[in-house]
């Protein structure tokens, strides 16, 4: 349990740091969340393909670090904001890039 908590803390700090860098760019689109979730899917795919048998490593890296790093809740609140703002094109693009890109990234990671 300690390894999951330590990994999650590191993942959350990494996500916060990367998000703060992107916020300085003043981009009116959730690019930081998209990149974080896609890289998380890629790395988790890689780990699943290579560390699946090692439960301790997967708990730290997969459940902990990548669980703290990626963010499904932020993704969904950004989608709701796009609906509220009637930004339909951005909403559709974000959905396709997030889900489609996430599937591709996880598959590519597993093939590495």
Contact predicate 63/4, CB 8 Å? yes
Written as one string, the DSSP assignment of 43-106 is: HHHHHHHHHTT-HHHHIIIIIIIIHHHS-HHHHHHHHHHHHHTT-HHHHHHHHIIIIIHHHHHH
The string of pLDDT tens digits covering residues 41-85 is: 999 999 988 877 678 888 999 999 999 999 999 999 999 999 999
CB-CB neighbours of 2 under 10 Å: 9
pLDDT digits (tens, 9 = 90+) for 76-104: 999 999 999 999 999 999 999 999 999 99
Binding positions for Na(+) are: 67, 70
Task: Kindly list the domain boundaries of the chain, sorted by start residue.
Answer: 2-111
Task: Summarize the annotated binding site as residue ranges.
Answer: 67, 70
């Amino acid at each position: 349990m300690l390894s999951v908590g330590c990994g999650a803390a590191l993942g959350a700090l990494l996500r916060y740091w990367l998000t703060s860098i992107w916020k300085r760019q003043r981009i009116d689109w959730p690019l930081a969340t998209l990149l974080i979730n896609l890289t998380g899917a890629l790395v988790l795919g890689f780990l699943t393909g290579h560390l699946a048998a090692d439960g301790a490593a997967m708990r730290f890296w997969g459940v902990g670090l990548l669980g703290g790093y990626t963010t499904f809740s932020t993704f969904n609140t950004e989608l709701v904001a796009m609906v509220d703002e009637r930004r339909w094109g951005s909403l559709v693009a974000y959905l396709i890039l997030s889900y489609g890109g996430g599937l591709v990234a996880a598959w590519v990671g597993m093939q590495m």
